[in-house]
Amino acid sequence: MSNPTPDGSAKTERIIGSVFRVNGPVIEAIGITDAMMLELVAVGSNQLTGEIVKLENDRAIVQVYEDTTGVKPGEPVYGSGASLSAELGPGLVGTVYDGILRPLSTLLNMSGDFLDRGITAPPIDQEKKWFFEPVVSAGTDVHGGMIIGTVKETELFVHQILVPPFMHGTLVSIAPAGHYTVRETIGEIDSDDAVHPVRMAQKWPIRRPRPVKGRSPLDTPLITGQRVIDTLFPVAKGGTVAIPGGFGTGKTMTQHALAKWCDADIIVYIGCGERGNEMTDVLNDFPKLVDPRTGRSLMERTILIANTSNMPVSAREASIYTGVTLAEYFRDQGYHVAVMADSTSRWAEALRELSGRMEEMPAEEGFPAYLPTRIAEFYERAGFMETLCGKNGSVTLIGAVSPPGGDFSEPVTQHTKRFVRCFWSLDRQLANARHYPAISWIESYSEYLSDIASWWEQNAGADWSDCRSTIMDLLQKEVRLNQVVKLVGPDALPDSQRFIIDVCTLFKNAFLQQNAFDENDRYSTVKKQYKMLELIVYYFNRGQRAIKNGVTLVKLRQMKAYQDLVKMKFSISNDDLSEFDKITARLGRSFDQLEAIFG
């Protein structure tokens, strides 16, 4: 009897070898015949899902994605003739999977609260009927990636049915509009004198990037609504981000905020080796969250991959590739996808454990020598692409890094830093002070500024770059001034320098810090962010001029209009930006009065 594999196909009875040695999730098999690298296999009488990662003569090393307890030498190893693949089609959105794309809700119904070993289920429901609507007619010349029909997967998401990559020819037939399962043939393509059936679902090897026409410039920001990110350290759609931070600094909560508020069409959230209680919070909270753009459940544009720390370690290694393959599939339909990988450190630790069990030569801190290559391959799959169907789509990769003890000099953080262009460093002191997001404005950086500055200047304000540069210069000066203050005290500084410290404190509290529980403050539009930034820079410029004209710092602090600045993030909504002009006018009058008195 055959069982379905994670890619939805049936496990074959073809025996290609037998178990020789069991070393945790790594199994050595002997007598291997007719096998290939990265072939999907089934191990033992329970047919545990595994993958061949090393071949030598008639021996193979198999990486098993399930608990190998009870597997004995001599048990058979079954071959499938295919690599570990993801089944892609309608039904992915809103589903919760494990690391090898098994739907957890289906497995729960099959085995109860505790998953049986060897149990599998197709990633998408094979029996559910979807309403397919063709957009091409028979006789059309088609090519890989071309859209031939649509399926309304949720109330707001339209799934594009694509011709499988590398297939081209003439569309011999196309099914009329109607309800079909993902297994039914909806069209036939005559290619190379052979007729190939086309279904709504297709399979793709998870370790192989999906093809595109070409890469496009990264000149459009991913708007997150988090001011410290959008204004100071923005990321472009199709960009790469690392979020390093020690335990409790807010990596997971930052990614939750991004998943809820960013303007991506699809969110793929990968819980890779994280604690079970964190993933439980995600699974409980995400269905209740309301998408601010649509007013509907956030799960209608989210795919969750839950691979917690108590699950088999080798499945962590696959979960990262599974998530990015799903993202590329939706990108190929012309959508913008954001991938949250939490955390890539746990993925690297899985590589280290598997490498050690395979007796490979360790590199720094025990990680395998190919760790930088694997990290580079992962982040290389991001990008803003021209897809095969002629649309533009993007995959933005946001990876959390969990350095032990908050030590950013450890290998995973350092190698990740080499391959990403945006670095949001989380600061322990900020987190302890309840300043969230706890992104350090000193250690963080973004290399996308020059690429997206023109977008901000067109959509926010012409002087956006100048305002941002002004505030970043002030933050750098404040660091040096605070070093002096620690030595001699604040009273030793002149008013002009103490005013810089005051403005930076205002900027941190009134701009960078956000309250996720306040309706006006939890999300800021592009226009509101610019208006807030412009107002603080205006306050600095006028205050600097007033101090030169003899106004004391004490008088500046006593201005009633100053309190409007402190409260503006709470008092002004995203829809009522005219209030900023009123505050600016009140500030101007206050400065004019002070300068008249002291002048």
- At 430, which amino acid appears? L
Contacts of 86 (CB under 8 A, 6+ apart): 7, 101, 123, 203, 204, 206, 322, 325, 326, 329
Q: What's the CATH code of the domain at 62?
A: 2.40.30.20
**Residues 293 and 180 reside in one and the same domain:** no
At residue 134, the pLDDT reads: 96
Q: What's the CATH code of the domain at 168?
A: 2.40.50.100
**Residues 280 and 364 reside in one and the same domain:** yes
CA distance 221 to 230: 8
Residue 34 half-sphere exposure, CB side, CA atoms within 13 Å? 9
Does residue 89 belong to any structural domain of this protein? no
Domain that holds residue 32: 1-84
**Residues 418 and 472 reside in one and the same domain:** no
**Residues 474 and 557 reside in one and the same domain:** yes
At residue 162, the pLDDT reads: 96
**Residues 180 and 243 reside in one and the same domain:** no
**Residues 430 and 494 reside in one and the same domain:** no
At residue 279, the pLDDT reads: 77
| Structural domains counted in the chain | 4
Q: What is the pLDDT along the chain (599 residues), one digit of tens a residue?
A: 344 454 444 455 689 999 999 999 999 999 998 899 999 999 998 899 999 999 999 999 999 999 898 999 999 999 998 999 999 999 999 999 998 899 988 988 888 777 788 888 999 999 999 999 999 999 999 999 999 999 999 888 899 999 999 999 999 999 999 999 999 999 999 988 899 999 999 999 999 999 999 999 999 999 999 999 999 999 999 999 999 998 889 898 898 899 889 999 999 999 888 777 777 777 777 777 777 777 788 888 899 998 888 788 888 889 999 999 999 999 999 999 999 998 899 999 999 999 999 989 999 999 999 999 999 999 999 999 999 999 999 999 999 999 988 899 999 999 999 999 999 999 999 999 999 999 999 999 999 999 999 999 999 999 999 999 999 999 999 999 999 999 998 888 999 999 999 999 999 999 999 998 899 999 999 999 999 999 999 999 999 999 999 999 999 989 988 999 999 999 999 999 999 999 999 999 999 999 888 76
Q: Which of 557, 536, 552 is nearest to 494 (CA)?
A: 552
Does residue 384 belong to any structural domain of this protein? yes
Does residue 362 belong to any structural domain of this protein? yes
At residue 339, the pLDDT reads: 97
| Domain endpoint, select from 390, 423, 448 | 448
Does residue 116 belong to any structural domain of this protein? no
Does residue 232 belong to any structural domain of this protein? yes
**Residues 444 and 380 reside in one and the same domain:** yes
Note the pTM of the prediction, 2 decimals. Answer: 0.93
Contacts of 162 (CB under 8 A, 6+ apart): 145, 146, 147, 148, 202, 332, 333, 388, 389
Is beta strand 85-88 parallel, antiparallel or unpaired with respect to 202-205? antiparallel
Does residue 96 belong to any structural domain of this protein? no
**Residues 337 and 221 reside in one and the same domain:** yes
| Domain endpoint, select from 27, 57, 84 | 84
Phi (first) and psi of residue 141, to 5 degrees: -80, 125
**Residues 66 and 187 reside in one and the same domain:** no
The residue assigned the tokens 């950013």 is 408
**Residues 135 and 164 reside in one and the same domain:** yes
**Residues 172 and 59 reside in one and the same domain:** no
At residue 2, the pLDDT reads: 42
CA distance 25 to 357: 8
Phi (first) and psi of residue 27, to 5 degrees: -120, 135
Measured CA distances, 421 to 161, 241, 275, 408 (Å)? 33, 6, 28, 16
**Residues 525 and 398 reside in one and the same domain:** no
Does residue 282 belong to any structural domain of this protein? yes
